[in-house]
Amino acid sequence: MTEQRFKQLLEGYLAGSLTSGQLKAFLKATRQKDSGDLLLQHLEEKISQAPKAADDTLAAASLERFMARMQQGQALVTQLPRSRHRPVRRIRYTAAAALLVVGIAFFIITRDGRHDKVPPIPTALIAVAADHSAQLQLGDGSSVVLDSQAVESPALLSRGITYHPDSTRLVYKADQPKRGLGGSQTLSTGRGDQVNVVLPDGTRVWLNAKSALRYPATFLPGARVVELSGEGYFDVRPNRGRPFQVRTAKVLVTVLGTTFNLKAYAGEEMITTGVYQGRVQVSDSARQTSLSAGQQLVITSDGNWHAAAGAELAAAAAWKDKLFVFRRTPLPDIIAELSRWYTVEFQIAPGLSRTFSGTIPRTATITTVLEVLKESGISFRKDRNKIVFFD
């Protein structure tokens, strides 16, 4: 493939205008030895067109982590491979440049050389995030669906709560005595939904799909206690005299002021906690342990606790930036993630064992996701209204 054709496909991918055949050609082209050079060249061209700032510099080796933090729409970002012809070197980046190039795509996936025909996916299976059922249940038992009409909801405004649909964010006024605000409130998301909330104490929480966060309408003196089912990313407002506690069905996480991700879905045995800033304490009825920034704790289905330096911390919280990030992830775990995002039923054929490494935007249709998995050697077929992965 010529350089000009590769760039045309790349621009088409970023614009979301590729046909199925063009997408396959683009994926095939990314396997060529010079694709890394072309992607890097495209990146540098975009950066050269943007204003530079002396105080925003990142190593090229940190590109994935940097770009994964950028909010984006149709991005598919993974590690750019080391070029065979040029060394990895430090490049100056700015937020403006980053926003121009967010979305540059490159798949790093395992392959076994098979290239079977990708079966067509029916229209009913290509919707993204079809539920859109994020809602807030108030202390009196009533509920407010978080859509564009929630901006002017009397039930929210009368309680000092504002909703910003563009950023899917709820904001509470700072803690203060409020009349008629007794009881707890529950913020929940459906399949394919994400929402974030600024709690009355100033703590900010991002809530992933199929999750629920229960919290008081106003925090009283003493510990600030919330309850989580699902996955949340917490940026806790420091208050030394009032620790912040997150309860799940199996563990309690206690912090004073820190940033961490907690994954504890109902029906899934594994619980994962990763700390990005500060320090947290994780405990259950039998034990407790402390985690510092850069550490991650995994509690497995057999009850074992494994704490270690969190090499995958960036990947663990990539959902907050609308990305699926997989690192040698077993197929059942991938399906669990996809099932919380797409209105599609999945099934794995008996005896099938596959892993996948790569990054996919959550804005992608299920058709695109399946084609990416297909390129990695994971075969599938449509069986009535579900997708079956087979060997």
- Mean pLDDT for 198-219 is 94
CB neighbours of 15 closer than 8 A, spacing ≥ 6? 74
Is the torsion defined by CA of 11, 17, 22, 27 positive or negative?
positive
Residue-level pLDDT at 35: 64
Highest mean pLDDT among 16-25, 127-136, 210-219: 210-219
Which two structure tokens, joined as six digits, stand for 17?
């205008």
- Mean pLDDT for 319-342 is 92
Domain 221-310 has CATH 2.60.120.1440: yes
Which two structure tokens, joined as six digits, stand for 44?
């540098």
336 falls in which pLDDT band (50, 70, 90)? very high
| pTM exceeding the 0.85 threshold for the entire prediction | no
Residue-level pLDDT at 109: 33
- Structural domain 123-127+317-390, CATH architecture: 3-Layer(bab) Sandwich (3.55)
Query: 357: closest CA among 2, 47, 79, 9?
Result: 79
pLDDT digits (tens, 9 = 90+) for 269-303: 899 999 999 999 999 988 999 999 999 999 988 88
36 falls in which pLDDT band (50, 70, 90)? low
Residue 237 clears pLDDT 90, i.e. is over it: yes
Residue-level pLDDT at 310: 65
Phi/psi for 306 (5° steps) reads -125, 110
More confidently predicted of 190 and 25: 190
pLDDT digits (tens, 9 = 90+) for 4-26: 888 788 777 665 567 767 777 87
Weakest-pLDDT range from 134-148, 181-195, 237-251? 181-195
132 three-class SS? coil
Strands 244-247 and 224-235: parallel
Strands 143-145 and 90-92: unpaired
Residue-level pLDDT at 21: 75
Which two structure tokens, joined as six digits, stand for 388?
């079956």
Residue-level pLDDT at 44: 56
CB neighbours of 249 closer than 8 A, spacing ≥ 6? 229, 264, 266
132 falls in which pLDDT band (50, 70, 90)? low
Q: Where are the domains of the chain?
A: 3-101, 123-127+317-390, 130-198, 221-310
Residue-level pLDDT at 389: 94
